[in-house]
Amino acid sequence: MNLIFVGVQGSGKGTQAKLISNELGLAHISTGDLLRDAKGELRKRVDSYIEKGNLVPDALILEILKERLNKKEGDNGIILDGFPRNLEQARALDKIMEVDKVIEIKISDKEALKRLSGRWNCRKCGIAYNIFTSPKPKKDRICDICDSPLYQREDDKPFPIKKRLKIYHKETEPILEHYKDKVVSVDGERAIEEIKEEILKILENAN
């Protein structure tokens, strides 16, 4: 089963993709993570887009995705998280992969802004906190585990956040029409566990 998780930044699609992939034994492929894991020259190249809140060029992200898809793990299928981000990417994906369902996780822009501006991370432990929602660090902007000061991703700062939301509505939302027969929308402004259960039920009924 191949799935796409779509949602505005901060919708919790990454969290849900992780939970559902564990539950169903699917590979979780986040293009944002693939880009953040890039090294050397490639990293420098992609950072210039990411830090400003822009999308990296389609040809580049496709090349990175295809390389990742070639490293197959198991035959249960995959969850794509953060791809496709526009119609060109969706059309390119049509040529390389069959998509079974598209799960849209919906939250308002107001909620997205709040969640994203509250995201603070620990460089050492890799833990992502949220000072407005959860998990909240016990001490203000200090990691609970190693006591290091937390940092905010460049693209979680106010200007790039607003730009990312704008790009989402203009470029990513149209892919929902492209996949219209396969899209199921869920309300993302609820408890993580509740959303997970709803997605599992949707997928169960899809089989």
Q: Contact positions toward ligand AMP, by CB under 6 A?
A: 9, 31-32, 35, 49-50, 53-56, 61, 82-83, 85, 89, 155, 164
**Quick one: CA dihedral 134, 147, 159, 170, positive or negative?**
negative
Reported for 145-148, long-range contacts at CB under 8 A and 24+ positions apart, including other chains, are 146/122, 148/122, 148/123, 148/124
CB of 184 closer than 8 Å to CB of 104:
yes
Residue 143 or 156 having the CB closest to ligand AMP: 156
Residues paired with 104 in a beta bridge: 6, 185
Cα separation, 4 vs 115, whole angstroms:
22
* Smallest gap from residue 147 Cβ to ligand AMP (A): 26
Residue 49 or 142 having the CB closest to ligand AMP: 49
User: Which residue sits closest to ligand AMP, CB atoms considered?
Assistant: 32
* Smallest gap from residue 23 Cβ to ligand AMP (A): 21
Residue 60 or 202 having the CB closest to ligand AMP: 60
* Smallest gap from residue 178 Cβ to ligand AMP (A): 14
- Grouping H, G, I as helix, E, B as strand and the rest as coil, residue 148 is coil
Cα separation, 156 vs 177, whole angstroms:
28
* Smallest gap from residue 139 Cβ to ligand AMP (A): 26
Q: Which residues form the catalytic set?
A: 13, 85, 119, 153, 164
* Smallest gap from residue 207 Cβ to ligand AMP (A): 27
Nearest to 11 by CA among 171, 207, 143, 168: 168
Residue 114 or 144 having the CB closest to ligand AMP: 114
DSSP code at position 142: B
Residue 85 or 196 having the CB closest to ligand AMP: 85
Name the packing angle between helices 192-206 and 13-24 (round to 10°).
50
